Amino acid sequence: MKKLFTGALTGLTLLASSSLAMAESTIRVTLQLPETHSLGQNWTAFKKIVEEKSKGELQIQLFPSAQLYKDKQVPEAVGSGAIEAGSVFLGRFAGSVPEVEFLNLPFLLDSEEKLRAATASGSEMRKLVDERILEETGAKVLWWQAYGRNIYLSNEFALRSPADFEGKKVRTYGKILGWTVEALGGAPTLMSGSKQFLAYQQGAVDVGMTGASGVKSRKLYEVMDHMTTSFDFPIEFVAVINNDFFNSLSAENQQIILDAAKVVELDLRNKIFKEEAELVEFAQDKMTVIELSEEERAKFKEATQAVTDRFIKEVGPKAKAIVDAVNAL
């Protein structure tokens, strides 16, 4: 029996009430970012493939920039059928599926090869996570949307070892990330992405934790002069569809959707890794870029190993199964 998220939705109420009246071949998609963003472009590519392959039988309507639902509302909106599909930060499922926060564990998925293998369609990790999301929410994961990997920012000092975090106030955006900062000897400060620039400019925090793409898009290089490309954990979104709606489609149209999902998933991941490489080149002209040596990375891993142990102990066997699946790669 499916368990839906609790709490009332504050999106467009008419959207839900009119859902049954609309054609089954119309798939409305709620997005948090504009269509010009890589995640929006990813859905545009999906739309093109699906509409062409289905000869127009399937129509996709995109609603970008959180027009309909905020990020935290998307799991329930899609799971309940208030809207057919959407994109959402994977961590937003933590309320019902706490083990999804494994993604924030430091240095668990710390190489491009391991990240690609773990997130590949059909991998053991994907099976465990995707099935749990479906079971608990009624939202079926179509594909994972790569967003980038974590980096650290600092001003007038370099971050090369755990000792460099000692006593520093560090911007974070999640519970597990706070544990990591504590393991490194720092003091976590929860802060939204939009507040970073001003916080760094005013010295409200000493160290920044953010996605690599944010350095350029938010112009953080103007207020921080050092960037450590730790790439210690990835930031992932998922494209989800209401499972009952998906099952109501013909087998042929279901396959068209699944095939298109595989294509756009790989395209986006390739694009993100390419953009990260370009970002490093861009940042080198703006700030001091620090790429950790294998010896330096080993010290970080050792210092933060307790975070993984704490996570498994708190969340339980399902979390351990996911971590084991990743480590088995």
pLDDT tens digits in sequence order for the chain, 329 residues long: 444 444 444 444 444 444 433 445 899 999 988 898 889 999 999 999 999 999 999 999 999 988 999 888 999 999 999 999 999 999 899 999 999 999 999 999 988 999 999 999 999 999 999 999 999 999 999 999 999 999 999 999 999 999 999 999 999 988 899 999 999 999 999 988 889 999 999 999 999 999 888 898 889 999 999 999 999 999 999 999 999 999 999 999 999 999 999 999 999 999 999 999 999 999 999 999 999 999 999 999 999 999 999 999 999 999 999 999 999 98
Give the domain 21-147+235-278 fold. Answer: D-Maltodextrin-Binding Protein; domain 2 (3.40.190)
Q: Do domains 21-147+235-278 and 151-233+286-327 have the same CATH topology?
A: yes
Q: Go through 281-306 and write b for each residue having 16 or more CB atoms within 10 A of its CB, e for each that does not.
A: eebeebbebbebeeebbeebbebbee
Alpha carbon distances (Å) from 301 to 171, 214, 275: 20, 24, 26
Rounded to 10 degrees, the C-alpha dihedral 142/240/81/63 comes to -120
Residues 6+ apart with CB under 8 A from 52: none
| CA–CA gap between residue 329 and residue 324 (Å, rounded) | 9
CATH of 151-233+286-327, one of 3.40.50.1100, 1.10.10.10, 3.50.50.60, 3.40.190.170: 3.40.190.170
Domain residue ranges of the chain, discontinuous segments joined by +: 21-147+235-278, 151-233+286-327
pTM of the model: 0.84
